[in-house]
Amino acid sequence: MDKNIVNSFFITTPIYYVNARPHLGHAYTTIVADCMARFNRLMGRDTFFLTGTDEHGEKIVQAAEKNGQDPQTFVDGVSALFQGLLPVLNAANDAFVRTTDSRHKQVVQKILQKVYDSGDIYFGEYGGHYCYGCERFYTEKELEDGLCPQHKTKPEYIAEKNYFFRMSKYQGWLKQYILDNPDFIRPERYKNEVLSLLESGALEDLCISRPKSRLSWGIELPFDRNFVCYVWFDALLNYISALDWPDGEHFKKYWPGAQHLVAKDILKPHAVFWPTMLRAAGLEPYRNLNVHGYWLVRDTKMSKSLGNVVDPLSMIDRYGVDSFRYYLMREMHFGSDASFTEESFITRLNADLANDLGNLMSRVLSMNARYFGSIAPSPKLITEVDQELVNFACESMARFQRLFDGVCFSVALESLWALVRGLNKYVDGAAPWTLYKNGDMDRLSTVMHLLLNALYKIAVHVWPVMPQTAQTMLEQLGMGHLAGAGPKGALGVNLAEELESWNNVRPGTRVAASSALFPRVDAKPKEETARRPAGADKKSAAKVATGAEKGAEKGAEKGAGSRAEKDHSGQTEKGPIAFADFQKLDLRVGTILEASRHPNADKLLCFKIDLGEAAPRQILSGIAQYFAPEELVGRQVVVVANLPPRVIRGLESQGMILTADRADGIELLSVSGPVGAGAAVS
């Protein structure tokens, strides 16, 4: 079949080796596979997503003995951990294969017999450097200073009689196939690595058995009961056993669109062993091998011995599954290594999700509620600026689709976030609050119509990565009926068609009045946060007029910007004061001339405020999670003008902006009409 016209998509993770519990690397590969499956379903392709566990080999026996269990009991327990992780990651796989399944064993034995009968498996004696960690022999040339390149340990030299696969026979064919199909292995650096390996010398034959005298835990060779199959020859065949090779309908439908997803440490088995095995069995190779790098912790590869393994469950419990999925897909440039830190996770969550996407959704819905009673308005005249926005959105979506299809996930998401940031700028430029104030309802209805529909476009495009968030967005936009309306629970849309329409949130649709997709996360360590007073946590933060972040963090500091402690009812503790105390407050109305984010604090905004003095005041306020700085320029606010200056995160604050609570956030305290800068409040 011509691979260029295949409309099926078959994505596999490597089947995970069950000698240890799942960690961040397993979670990442599974999430990437799930995102690819969801994306391809939205693109209208018949999609099948496979994952599973690899359960044979010497390391399994060793791990089982260490745990005082027989191998089958041990693998049953660890495989269950991998299966249990899938719903936690919100991974919607279609099948889960285990190499101890009877169906898989039968396929392995059929392939072994087929290749043996063709003359490509022979019996011989071999001596080589055997790494028990990798469960494979290494040649002298493959060792690095006499050590296994993966485990940095000295292999044991073993000489024994075994069965061998004539892999060397297919060296020329494999090299030419890779050259003829330049995207067969991607990214390109890994294709070049494999070609370099093939060009460096003769490809050796592959030892594919282990004598039962040394290892009995494995699939027995059909032509010699004294041997079991080498774990890699066994494991790789899961990709077709799960499709019911040779006669299953799934195999006929999905194998032409096969895509494998692996980490770079198992490049050779998938790029060399597997294609030559398929060739020897008379089967077409897979369509693409997609290879990703390592997740590093403090620039070091994760290792149980180093104690730096990241538990995905704890990250999800703390920050939510969609934030976790987004961070992994956005932070790693596919093919390269990436470094995981909780600090970078929080920064990405606050910047991209809370400040950009969450703030945009909140602004648009709250403005639409205020101006149109939460009903989507009808557009009027489309201006040149509006058309530029639509064109930019279509370009961003098209680029997202092209890059995501080409496994450039991080860059694809950046393209989509360029649209998110562009929409925030569009809001600032259109200034709906000014249009409403001036009674220009025709222009205002067009602006809000475009914004609501742009949010819909973002929701359907972000669904492969953040399905729960996308569903919430669609429900808030009055489009919840699309969730689960497609095949296998996908959205009832086709992404390719989304580039051609711009009227999905139709006039008259009732939308939500507010949104709070991603609350900002305090970057402070969890144990330190737990020691903070009840009134200083993130739920009560910024509910009282504030010009600082340091007040609550330092605990003992008082004065401008410190948080007010609250009692168990959530109300600030108050007592009667003398009128003379009230008279000490210098409250003035100021006009915001400039607004920007604090360079060293996510929660702080920096303002230049005209109080009718010789020079504007610089005032800091911890309201960044509620307002974009650009929308505040020109607003009039009430300022406490006689507080002593304080230096906060390196910048001086010369007063305090007053705010008022509301159910879903805060409002700036202002006046009913324009007054002169510096007017006294009395």
Check pLDDT > 90 for residue 533.
no
Check pLDDT > 90 for residue 28.
yes
Quick: pLDDT tens for 117-136.
Answer: 999 999 998 777 888 777 77
pLDDT for 576: 67
pLDDT for 563: 29
pLDDT for 540: 30
Check pLDDT > 90 for residue 522.
no
Amino acid identity of residue 55, one-letter, is E
Q: Which architecture, in CATH terms, is 341-500?
A: Orthogonal Bundle (1.10)
pLDDT for 126: 75
Check pLDDT > 80 for residue 564.
no
Strand order in 617-621's β-sheet? Answer: 617-621, 605-610, 587-597, 636-640, 656-657
Quick: pLDDT tens for 566-579.
Answer: 333 333 345 566 66
The span from the CA of 501 to the CA of 504, in Å, is 7
Amino acid identity of residue 538, one-letter, is K
pLDDT for 89: 97
Picking from 322, 312, 451, the residue whose alpha carbon sits closest to that of residue 377 is 451
Asked if 341 contacts 406 with a C-beta cutoff of 8 angstroms, the reply is no
pLDDT for 230: 95
Neighbouring C-beta atoms of residue 481, cutoff 10 Å = 10
Asked if 96 contacts 238 with a C-beta cutoff of 8 angstroms, the reply is no
**Would you place residue 308 in the very low, low, confident or very high pLDDT band (cuts 50, 70, 90)?**
low
Check pLDDT > 70 for residue 306.
no
pLDDT for 114: 98
For the residues 332-346, what does the mean pLDDT come to? 93
Say what the pTM is.
Answer: 0.76
**Would you place residue 523 in the very low, low, confident or very high pLDDT band (cuts 50, 70, 90)?**
low
User: Which range among 25-29, 597-601, 612-616 has the greatest average pLDDT?
Assistant: 25-29
Check pLDDT > 90 for residue 21.
no
Q: Which parts of 123-281 fold into alpha helices (H)?
A: 171-180, 188-199, 231-236, 238-241, 249-254, 267-268, 274-280
**Would you place residue 211 in the very low, low, confident or very high pLDDT band (cuts 50, 70, 90)?**
very high
Asked if 580 contacts 589 with a C-beta cutoff of 8 angstroms, the reply is no
**Structure-block tokens of residue 290:** 């997609």
Angle between helices 467-476 and 441-462 (to 10 degrees): 150
- Higher per-residue pLDDT: 124 or 660: 124
Instruction: Give me the percent of the chain exceeding a pLDDT of 90.
Output: 66
The radius of gyration computed from the CA coordinates of the chain, to the nearest angstrom, equals 31
- Locate the domains of the chain by residue range: 3-292, 341-500, 532-668
Give the H/E segment covering residue 54. Answer: strand 46-54
pLDDT for 295: 92
pLDDT for 192: 96
Q: May I ask the CATH class of domain 3-292?
A: alpha beta
The CA-atom distances, in angstroms, between 502 and each of 43, 168, 478, 495, 505 are 18, 56, 15, 13, 8
- Higher per-residue pLDDT: 662 or 462: 462
Picking from 338, 344, 232, the residue whose alpha carbon sits closest to that of residue 292 is 338
- Higher per-residue pLDDT: 321 or 533: 321
Q: What is the dihedral of CA 153, 154, 158, 162, to 10 degrees?
A: 40
The gap between the terminal CA atoms of the chain, to the nearest Å, is 82
Picking from 124, 137, 121, the residue whose alpha carbon sits closest to that of residue 58 is 137
How open is the CA angle 221-67-130, to the nearest 5 degrees?
Answer: 45
The 3-state DSSP class for residue 210 equals strand
Task: Determine the CATH number of domain 532-668.
Answer: 2.40.50.140
Check pLDDT > 90 for residue 38.
yes
Active site residues per annotation: 23, 26, 131, 134, 148, 151, 301, 304
The 3-state DSSP class for residue 207 equals strand
Quick: pLDDT tens for 425-453.
Answer: 999 999 999 999 999 999 999 999 999 99
Check pLDDT > 50 for residue 552.
no
Check pLDDT > 90 for residue 550.
no
The span from the CA of 434 to the CA of 454, in Å, is 21
The span from the CA of 160 to the CA of 125, in Å, is 6
For the residues 11-34, what does the mean pLDDT come to? 94
Check pLDDT > 90 for residue 182.
yes
Neighbouring C-beta atoms of residue 202, cutoff 10 Å = 8
